[in-house]
Amino acid sequence: FDLFVSSAGGICIAQSLKIPNEAKQEHFDKIIRQLLETRHARAIIIFVNDENIRGILNATKRADQVGHFLWIGSDSWGAKNSPIQGLEDAAVGAVTIMQKRATIEGETKYYQAEWMGGRNIALIIGTELPGV
């Protein structure tokens, strides 16, 4: 996030808010109230998990502010229906961003499905890009 803010040249970032771990309804309601304090700031860049996007969208509905904000989010809620199921009206017009994914031709070795600390991690080593 800090890299995004520091490279935002020409974009006014009115607020930077964080959702606490294990946020409750009142946290999401407070965030919506804080966002509404900056009157002309309506585009909200939000990179959160499914549970938190549901919390924010529900808070928007409770505050009767559906349609007020333009949501710009990650593929964590743009590539699947579950995060916005039942909240479609609050998410209408959202723009979500997904990284471009492609297979790299060349000498790439993969160590797949290596379990480290309880997480499934795919390591990529020795990548050589053709023509580089």
Looking at the structure, give the CATH architecture of the domain made up of residues 2-97. Answer: 3-Layer(aba) Sandwich (3.40)
Res 97: pLDDT = 84
From the list 61, 2, 7, 5, the residue with the least C-alpha distance to 29 is 61
pTM for this predicted structure:
0.69
Neighbours of 130 (CB within 10 A): 8
pLDDT (tens digit, 0 to 9) for every residue of the chain, 132 residues total?
A: 454 555 556 667 788 888 988 899 999 999 999 999 988 788 898 888 899 999 999 999 999 999 999 998 888 777 888 889 999 999 998 988 877 666 655 544 443 333 334 443 343 443 343 443
pLDDT of res. 27: 94
Q: Given this model, what pLDDT does residue 40 score?
A: 79
- The residues spanned by each domain of the chain are 2-97
| Pairing outcome for strands 95-97 and 70-74 | parallel
Helices (H) and strands (E) in the chain, counts: 5, 5
